[in-house]
Structure formats: C-alpha cells, structure tokens
Amino acid sequence: MTNPQTLLILSNHGEIVGGGEISLLTLLEAMDRSCWSPIVVVPSEGEVASRCRALELPTHVIPMPSLRRPGRAMLRSVSSIRRLARETCAVLLHANGSRAMFYAGLAGRLKGCPVIWHVRVANRDRFLDSVLARLASAVIANSKAVGWRFSRALGDKVRCIYNGVNLAQFVPRQAPARLRTSLGLPDGAAVVASVGRFVPYKGFGVLLEAAGMVRASRSDVHWLLVGDGELRGALERQCRALGLEAQVHFTGWREDVPDILAVCDVFILPSMAEHFGRVIIEAMAMGKAVVATDAGGVPEIVIPGETGLLVPPGDATAMAQAVTALLEDPSRCSRFGAAGRGRVETKFSLARHVAAIEALYAELLDAGPRAM
C-alpha cells in the first residue's frame, strides 16, 4: 500500500456563506483517506475551519486579501501557501472559488504542481476568468450552466462534475413526531418548504406572492422558509402585508434540514437564477416532489413531469398553480418523489461526485508536474 498523497484544499471563505462551502465539506468528509491526505487552507477562522478540524483535517489560516486591493499582503499570502505546499509535499492544489484560485494558481505555478479551480457560479468576469483559467490545470464546473461561463477554446480543461448528496443522510423517512409541533404546523396541514439565503436572486418575494395566491383556494397550506439573509426583514414585512403570518414560518438556519424536508409535501425553489441548486437534489433524495424555476442549472436536475414541475422565473401565478396542482394530487407527488430519489441515486450521489473528482486528481498527476 502506498502512502496517501497530500493535497492542499483552499476555501474561498472561512464561514459557510452558501452551498459551495457545504459541497466542499461533504467532499472532504467522503474523500478516500487511504489515497489522499487533504490539508485545508482558509482565509479566516470560522465554521469551515471548525468543521474541518472536527473531521481531523489539518487546517491552516492564511489570509487571502481581496483581489481588488493588491499589495504586499497578497504576495505574503502567495508565499505562505507555496511554503506550506512545499513543506507538506503537496502534489496538487484544489481551489474552491475564484479568490482561492488566484492564490492557489500562483503558488502552484511557483511550486510546479497542478491546480484545480472549482467554479460554482455562472457569473462571468472576463479578465479574471482568463487569468485564472490559464493558471488552472483543470476547471471543475458544478453544472453545464456554470461551464458556459468559459470559452470553448479551453476545450476539455473544463469538466462538469455535479454536486453530490449523501444518500445515507438524505433518505426518505417519517419526520420526528415532535417536529411539526415545534415548527407551529397544525395537524393535517399541507406543508411546502424552501431552503436558501434571503438574497434578491433567490426569489423569496415571488414565493410569498405565490403563497398568497395558494391561500385563496387552500387555506390549510403552510410554508416553511429555512434560511436567513439581508432580505429577511423585508420578507417578514411582505408576509405581514399579505396577511400570511399564520401560514408562513421563518425558521432561520437549521442543522436538521433532512428532517425539515421529511415534514414537507412539496419542496419549492423560487430562484430568479441558479448556478446549480444543491437543495433540489437534497429534496429529491428525500423523495419529495419539486417545484422550481427554469433557470440556470436547475433544468439539469429536474425532469419536468417526471421528478417535478418547472415554472418561469419570477412568475408567481405559475408557481402557485404548480404547487396547488401537486398538493391536489398526492399520488403524483409520490411518483415524482420516487423518480427524484432514483435520479439522485443515479446522477447526483456523493459517491459519484467524489469518484469523479478523485479520478481528475489521478489524471492530472499522471500527466506530469504541470498540466497546462
């Protein structure tokens, strides 16, 4: 048996700011430690570092100053990452995000080892994208929609590797008996759930409009909004203005998302745009029918009429109609849920995700010291 090879894994953020950090942590947890020995670099202390240390991963804090303010601090950080890579005999650097890629790319070039840029957003930055793509040995896009960010000239340097969900953690089951009561859900109420950050592009204002429309025909429907963010106050005011205080429950961030999903009858993602949609595969893994917007990477996940329903972004009426149609047809919900679970098992499992990334590691290392 050979010794595991050391990797430097760089996180864009010290805190968990979205699905990108969750996906990185699930990768680190599931990675084959007999083959790979990951060392994590974070720009600051926070939840990412805490969770990595809980996984017994060596974790180093090296500041990564904003790319908008170049200076000596930036050079010191590049030097620190290069030194850490050299001292730990790291054979590859894996950067989770653009800022991390800038530092990993320069350090990797100086050390002469391959660097992977893991891209999870579709928004282009033409100049920075060009620079970082040249520094990268390979680019991982977490959806085809994200992959369209890059020029075709990059060829097979850009690989689409979908996020994966832990099928042992997200498995269809009955919700804990006391959870409904603790969430303020009446017995027998139909439940629609959504999970995400309360920021403009996530579309929660449209969801509340749809909730108001659904109430006109189904006053028994309750809505769980799991998350937080800059728009929470505005959303709570909108909820009061619509007279939905009794039906809409703002839960804040929760650690028991699988149990929350077990409670709901339908899962909804109202995003105006979506790079991938990690929470959709979590809901599908839990055997839930999905209503989502036809935006970004979502159509790569949801098969309309088979695992859920897609509606135009920003269309509250279509959203309300789709939710009502599913709630009125429980057998259809069950069929969608079963098909969704099967699709996640086939295409979006954590095991498949990890295997694809580990195969890329091996490919780049077999290609030699630099794969430019």
Max CA separation in the chain (angstroms): 65
Q: Which residues contact 193 (CB under 8 A, 6 or more apart)?
A: 223, 224, 225, 226, 260, 261, 263, 264, 266, 267, 268, 283
Sketch the domain layout of the chain as residue ranges. 5-164+349-366, 179-347
State pLDDT tens for residues 330-369: 999 999 999 999 999 999 999 999 999 999 999 999 975 4
Query: Can you name the CATH fold of 179-347?
Result: Rossmann fold (3.40.50)
Rg (CA), the chain: 22
Which pLDDT score, from 0 to 100, does residue 155 have? 80
State pLDDT tens for residues 160-205: 999 999 999 999 999 888 999 999 999 889 999 999 999 999 999 9
139 beta partners: 117, 158
Which pLDDT score, from 0 to 100, does residue 1 have? 47
Q: Is the pLDDT of residue 112 over 60?
A: yes
CATH number for 5-164+349-366: choose from 3.40.50.2000, 3.40.50.720, 3.30.470.20, 3.90.1150.10. Answer: 3.40.50.2000
Going through the chain in order, the beta strands assigned E by DSSP cover 5-11, 36-42, 59-61, 92-96, 115-119, 138-141, 158-160, 190-195, 221-226, 248-252, 266-269, 289-293, 308-311
- Amino acid 320 reads A
* Distance set, CA 296 to CA 46, 87, 242, 317 (Å): 30, 41, 29, 20
* The two structure tokens encoding residue 175: 């919700």
Q: Which residues contact 25 (CB under 8 A, 6 or more apart)?
A: 16, 48, 51, 52, 55
Residues of the chain with pLDDT > 70, as a percent, come to 98
Do the first three CATH levels of 5-164+349-366 and 179-347 match, i.e. the same topology? yes
State pLDDT tens for residues 246-295: 999 999 999 899 999 999 999 999 999 999 999 999 999 999 999 999 99
Q: Which residues contact 105 (CB under 8 A, 6 or more apart)?
A: 95, 115, 117, 132, 135, 136
- 50/206 Cα distance (integer angstroms): 35
pTM: 0.91
